[in-house]
Amino acid sequence: MCPEETRFSARCLVRLTVNGQSHELEVEPRVTLLDLLRERLQLTGAKKGCNRGECGACTVLLDGRRVNACLVLAASAEGCAVTTVEGLAQDGRLHPVQQAFIEHDAFQCGFCTSGQIMSALACITEGHTGSNAEIREWMSGNLCRCAAYPQIAEAVAAAARDMSASEAA
């Protein structure tokens, strides 16, 4: 066995919360956050479209910020709070972003959708929804080959209005 292999197969302990639930896992240092979610925790909402930061299908929130989970090593998420698409609906009630995606028909095959929704949520909380052009710019890290782009931009704008209205109320 080459020494490199030994190094990779060493284990480290990761403690993190995912959708509010805490986990303590032993992982190899080379395991990505995306593979940890999908293969270890069976949270398969985040998708692997490229595994190298090109498509956004794996987008999750890491301590509230959107990241490509395929580019994050699980070990580096030690102590972090991760939110995935599975963690958005509360008591069976869809999150306003999820609702807006359905209303505006902002998906077809649905494979990019988990990533789009997580990215949309971050785009709104970052305050990047000032105009259609701004939304499109800040949602361009999430590819959609079904090309639901105009509907995605509409859904983000609608969800932003919804969320600021309910905040004001």
Partner 1 sequence: MKTSGDPITRLDGPAKTTGAARYAGDQALPGQLHAVLVPSTIPAGRVTGIDARAALATPGVVRVLTASDMTRVHPDLDKITCPPLATRFLPMQGDQVLYEGQPVAIVLAERLEPAEAAAAAIRVCYQRDAFTPPETAPAEPPDPAKGDYSKSSAVTFQKGDAAAAIAAAPVRLAARYTQPSRHANPMEPSAILAAWEGDRLTVYDAVQHLPAVQGALAAVFGLGADKVRVVSPHTGGGFGAKAFIWPHEILTAMAARVVGRPVKLALSRQHMHAMVGPQPQMTHDLELGARPDGRLAGLTHATANITSVTDDYVEFGAIPSRAFYACDNITTDHRVRRGHVTLPTFMRSPWDGPGSWALGSAMDELARRLGVDPLDLRLANHADTDPESGQPWSSKKLREAYEEGARRFGWRERPRGGTRDGHWRIGCGMADCSQGQARFHSTARVRLAAEGAAVVESSFCDIGTGPATVFAQVAAEALGLDPRQVTVRSGDTDLPYSGPTYGSGTTLSTGAAVQRAAERVRGRLAALAGWAPEETTMREGRITRANESRTIQEVLGAAGLPELSSDGAFDLPGGAPVDMGEAGAPARTFGAIFVEVGVDPELGLLRLRRAVGAYSAGRILNPRTARSQMIGGIIWGWGMAAMEASHYEPKLGRWLSKDLAGVAIPVNADIPPEIEVAFVEEFDARSGPLGAKGIGELGATGVAAAVANAVYDAIGIRVRDLPITPDKLLAA
Residues lying near partner 1 in the complex (CB under 8 A): 1-2, 5, 8-9, 28, 30-31, 35, 38-39, 42-52, 54-55, 57, 84-86, 88-89, 94, 98, 101-103, 105, 107-114, 117, 132-133, 135-137, 139-140, 142-154
Measured distance CA(132)–CA(19) in Å, rounded: 30
The distance of closest approach from Cβ of residue 44 to ligand FES in the complex, given in angstroms and rounded to an integer, is 13
The distance of closest approach from Cβ of residue 30 to partner 1 in the complex, given in angstroms and rounded to an integer, is 5
- What DSSP designation does 110 have? -
Number of residues that bind ligand FES (CB under 6 A): 23
33: tokens are 């956050």
The distance of closest approach from Cβ of residue 13 to partner 1 in the complex, given in angstroms and rounded to an integer, is 17
One residue of 29, 86, 146, 161 binding ligand FES per CB under 6 A? 146
- In the list ligand FES, partner 1, none, the entry touching 162 (Cβ below 5 to 8 angstroms by class) is none
Site string for ligand FES, 30-69 (x = CB under 6 A): ------------------xxxx-xxxxxx---------x-
Q: Could you please report the per-residue DSSP string of 140-157?
A: TTS--TT--HHHHHHHHH
Is the Cβ–Cβ distance between 139 and 152 less than 8 Å? Answer: yes
Q: In this structure, are strands 81-83 and 65-68 parallel, antiparallel, or unpaired?
A: unpaired
**C-alpha pair distances (Å), 96 with each of 24, 102, 148, 155, 165:** 31, 10, 18, 10, 11
The distance of closest approach from Cβ of residue 162 to partner 1 in the complex, given in angstroms and rounded to an integer, is 15
Is the Cβ–Cβ distance between 30 and 21 less than 8 Å? Answer: no
Half-sphere exposure of 12 (CA within 13 A, CB side): 18
- In the list ligand FES, partner 1, none, the entry touching 12 (Cβ below 5 to 8 angstroms by class) is none
- Residues making contact with ligand FES (CB under 6 A): 48-51, 53-58, 68, 70, 107-113, 144-146, 148
